[in-house]
Structure 1
Amino acid sequence: MGGNPLDSQGISELLESITADQRQQYMKRRLNHSCGGENNNFWAFDTTSISSYSETLSKVAYGHNKEDPEMPMIKIALLIDETNGEPLYYKVLNGSIADVSLLRNLFVDLVQLRDKQINLVLDRGFCSEHNFLMMFRNHVGFLADLRSDLAIAAQTVDQLMPSLRLALPEYYSPTIGCYCATKQIDWYSATRAHGKEQYPFYIHVYYDKQREASEILNMTELVESFKARLEKGEVPNAPYFRKFFKKKKDKQKTDKPDNVKPKDLYEFDVQSWVTFTRTCGCFVLGSGEVKSASEALNIYRQKDTVEKAFNNYKDKCGERRIRCRECALEGKVFVTYLSLCLRLMLERRLERADNDPLNTPRVLERLNSLVLYRHETDDKPKLYWQEIPKEDRLLMERLRIKIPAPIFVI
């Protein structure tokens, strides 16, 4: 199609022209479309960090950056429909905001769907008693990964793990390939504003012997590497080092610092190791809706759709670094979000057409080869497509892509 490509200034102006209302209207339609069916889909919600060198973007801040710990970042929150893998919602967040505090704002943004059932799949970063109570009160279904030391889970884990470790056949589920058990507890809350509240809470505990062996072996190798670094005179700056190594209490304060070696200052904490091994191979899910342990794990395992979406967002859509002006940030993220939607929709259509989703780049390349021409006339400009090869037509039909009219007027 004719026309000169936009320069940097033109691109920024285009991104700035996308209003907040337009972005919200689009996401509202996406969300309502996903809620249109009778089935109650589960939506995976998570965040990812996008590193940035920018010193002018107000949302760039230091936080828990998993990829580049020493770099500031912004956060992108993403909501994915687990059934069809399509992105439904996104939000640009300040990089310093902790995940555990995000759910309240999510419910505010989804207020237009209050008459629909919402079911969220969450990782342990969002788990807190406050968030669970908030989801109960707002009638939001949830399935969450729980820390085994979380107050609501710890007692159930202590009760069920001895039986699961015996590997009795009655606790084995062939559909998920591990041992599991469920306990229903009653969630109580009493506040002046809401009075006494009680909700059913299903705690699902899982045990996998192979996972246990792997976790112990990996941690043993890490502990040995810490010991080797202490021998070399280096004190590791790592959370697991601080967890398993404590300073010796009986070390004489009269020793001169120059004569004290790191290996003489620290000792391996056996009790911390015993506490660690007590829950190795164990993982816990909690839900206010899902009663079956097997069903809960199958739903949670589909959460990798959001991880794949983040990988596509960063690598395939070119957003591993944020480089733009403040006024164009929201527009740029929105356009990247749209490209992610289109890519994931195409991947899902490839799956349904019995085509390998890994062929997505090749399919996009073929579709990108189609050319739209602009023909100027005295009346109105006309647009027309070059002849579409038969092979491409068949591909578009299999993917349910509407074949455009040869000529149309604008």
Structure 2
Amino acid sequence: MPAKASCEVKTRTVRQPQKNGDIYVIERQTRYDPVKKYNVVLSSRIIGKIPKGETSVVPTRPKRSSGEKVSVSNEPDLPVLASRRKVGMMDIIDHIGKASGIDDAIYASTDQGAAKKILSLARYLLATNGQSFPGITTWQFTHPLPYEEGLSEDIYHDLFETVGRDESLIQSFFESRLSSLGGKALLAYDSTTVSTYSGRISEARYGFNKAHDGLETVKLLSLYSIETRQPVAFTKQPGNQPDVITIENALKQLQVLGINSAEIVTDNGYYSEKNLAELLHAHFDFITLIKNSIKWVKKELDSHLDEFRTTSSACPFDINTHGITIMRMQEFSRARKYASTKKGLAEGDEEIFRRRIYLHLYFNPLRRVEQDTVFDKDIFELKALIEGGASEEDLSDSAAEKARKFLHIRHYGSKCTVTFNEKAIATQKKYHGYFALVSNCEKDPFECLRKYRQRETIEFFFESGKQRADGNRTRVWSSECLMGRMFVQFVALCYYEHLSEQLRQLKQSLASEIADPENETSETLKNKKKLLSWLKNTPVYLTLQWFDAVEEVKVSTKLLSRRWTTEITARDRLLLEKLGVPAF
């Protein structure tokens, strides 16, 4: 039978390890509670600590009572505490994150710790113009970031893996980006390739490499809002996948994220009758570049060649370009995913349907001259290669095909003579200068052309990703890390595109205010002219770097604390005011 508890107060000493390696020596008083049947702690007092790496106990500072200051003789007297941080550029970036809604969307998509790490890495990419991530380990000491605990290579590597596996986080952020567009969105859809040295990324394949560096690539596909000039979503696919097969997944992503009405603009890499059928079936509008060589397009072009010489066919905003529109009832087909008793079709059967589409044909004489010049240069180079002894096996497939089509090659013993096939060349040049767009919604050829040309903004976006977000190489060794890294880069590009658009609008606003000043003092007008001239000649990165010279100094003494920042000029103060950034 167990002994009866005495219920006396007992005093004992315990050692409690801390995260920093120190060990606290704690004196505790306990008493057994017969009702609760366990020892209850009556009091706990720290009597000393064993510093990390030592064995002897060091007394700790006694707890101070309210209003009492305690001086410990073995601690050094620190009369002044001071710090210096570069805050000018970071305050602007912080304002961008809040004003654009990017920060709120990230915080709403994941826990606070992960959100702060993502935003810190994205801000680092923007502030350094795409420096590689290892540089953040020292850079963060002088620049304030949302994640104050500090980022090491292990921390952000683990973050990439976590984010790469968290599809809910990624899609939630995309949903937030798309919901901010409102109304009917005008979206550009295109792809680029990212090279990799890694042999462990399953999506890395040999295919068309836009960098032409001979490496395996991963394909990055993006949706970009043309009107707001903001990236809204992305995905990755194996590098050997052709663009033409990717449109169906993009439509599914838009629909599941709540976008059921959008106008999608693509180049000719995405044209196929299957893709048009999918767009029409999903009730999305589209504009896409289409090749002149397609049979029904070529037939329409031959029938309307004389119409491009009229003055009325000239484009109002580009007189060198002439355009006409042909409305057609086009037949499309798509494989049914489900059987239809009403239509008598089984699953997988081809369903035929007809829709109205608008074929817009264009001609530009300057474009014809350029294409003729490039064509002639290629043919002359090819002729010289063959006359120099190159055989058909030495040529690339495309070059060999050109040689067979446009050159007459005759061999007389060891001698080779090459002449031009002028008839075939004339047939080829007949269609130089012409191009075509097809749409199911745009009836006016020049409005359709205007929207298509705006698609070029996504090309600038891809260029920014590679030059300003460290996007030329994957720099990771697994698919999960790659997706997490791409997401952080995407957030950084959201920052960059928002700031770029703000600066574009500001330049337009300043030009208008200078041209028509109202109640402006001469000094204000002078500063506006200075600011406009500076912005026109300074890229976004250098604009941010200019403000990186603004430092904040904090000094605390026993008597009081003070902070101050570097002074800025009237021109710089005007820029901050126009952007809505709080004064430093």
Query: Which category of TM-score, normalised to the shorter sequence, fits these structures?
Result: 0.7 to 0.9
Deviates more, 1:67-76 or 1:19-28: 67-76
Deviates more, 1:386-395 or 1:146-155: 386-395
Q: Which runs of 5+ in 2 are unaligned?
A: 1-139, 142-147, 335-344, 508-531, 557-561
The size of the alignment, in residue pairs, is 385
- 1:249 shift after superposition: 9.7
- State the AA in 1 paired with 2:154: Q
Change (3 A) 1:131 1:386: farther
Say whether residues 1:202 and 2:358 are aligned partners.
Answer: yes
Q: CA deviation at 1:373?
A: 9.2
Q: Within 5 A, what are the aligned runs for 1:124-273?
A: 124-164=268-308, 167-177=309-319, 178-189=321-332, 192=345, 196-235=352-391, 237-238=395-396, 240-246=398-404, 260=414, 263=416, 268-273=420-425
Query: CA shift at 1:132, angstroms?
Result: 0.5
Q: Which residue of 2 aligns with 1:363?
A: 543
Aligned to 1:87: 231
Counterpart CA distance in 2 for 1:122 and 1:385 is 53
Deviations 1:177-215 (A, max 9, x none): 211111000022367468552211100000111211221
8 Å CA contact retained: 1:370, 1:386:
no
Q: Who is 2:491 aligned against? A: 338
**TM-score normalised by the chain length of structure 2:** 0.60
Q: SS at 2:233's partner residue?
A: strand
Q: Which residue of 1 is the match for residue 342 of structure 2?
A: none
Q: CA deviation at 1:150?
A: 1.8
- Separation of aligned partners in 2, 1:227 and 1:307: 34
Q: Percent identity?
A: 21
**CA deviation string 1:44-65 (max 9, x = no partner):** 1100011111111111101111
Letter in 2 for 1:106: A
Say if 1:59 and 1:74, in contact at 8 Å, map to a contact too. yes
What is the rounded CA distance, in whole Å, between the counterparts of 2:566 and 2:577 in structure 1? 12
Give SS of 1:42's match.
strand
2:190 maps to: 46
Residues 128-176 of structure 1, C-alpha deviations (whole Å, 9 max, x = no match): 0000011111111111000001234222112122432xx2223222323
CA shift, 1:68, in A, is 1.4
Q: Which segment is superposed worse, 8-17 or 213-222?
A: 8-17
Which residue identity lines up with residue 305 of structure 1 in the other structure? Answer: T
Question: Residues 338, 388 of structure 1: CA spacing in aligned structure 2 closer, same or farther, 3 A cutoff?
Answer: farther
Q: 1:273 to 1:250 in 2, by over 3 A?
A: closer
1:5, distance to aligned residue in structure 2 (A):
5.4
150-159 vs 125-134, which deviates more?
Answer: 150-159
1:117 matched to 2:261? The reply is yes
1: CA distance, partners of 2:554 / 2:193: 41
Aligned to 2:482: 329
Greater shift, 132-141 or 365-374, is seen at: 365-374
Counterpart-to-counterpart distance in 2, 1:352 and 1:151: 44
1:287 aligns with 2:439: yes
1:221 alignment partner AA: K
Distance in 1 (CA, whole Å) between partners of 2:201 and 2:390 is: 38
Measure how far apart 1:368 and its partner are: 4.6
Q: Which structure has the larger Rg over C-alpha atoms?
A: 2
Instruction: Tell me, in whole angstroms, the C-alpha distance in 2 between the residues paired with 1:230 and 1:218.
Output: 19
Moved more, 356-365 or 155-164: 356-365
Query: Structure 1 residues 335 and 187 mapped into 2: Cα distance closer, same or farther (>3 Å)?
Result: same
TM-score of the aligned structures, taking structure 1 as reference length: 0.84
Q: Cα offset for 1:246?
A: 1.5
Which letter does structure 1 place at the counterpart of 2:482?
Answer: L
Alignment correspondent of 2:169: 22
Aligned to 2:179: 32
**Which residue type is aligned with residue 131 of structure 1?**
N
Aligned-residue Cα RMSD (Å) equals 3.0
Structure 1 runs not aligned, ≥5 long: 377-383
Task: Assess, with a 3 A threshold, how the Cα gap between structure 1 residues 362 and 268 changes in structure 2: closer, same or farther.
Answer: same
Query: Are the aligned partners of 1:79 and 1:90 in contact in 2 as well (CA < 8 Å)?
Result: yes
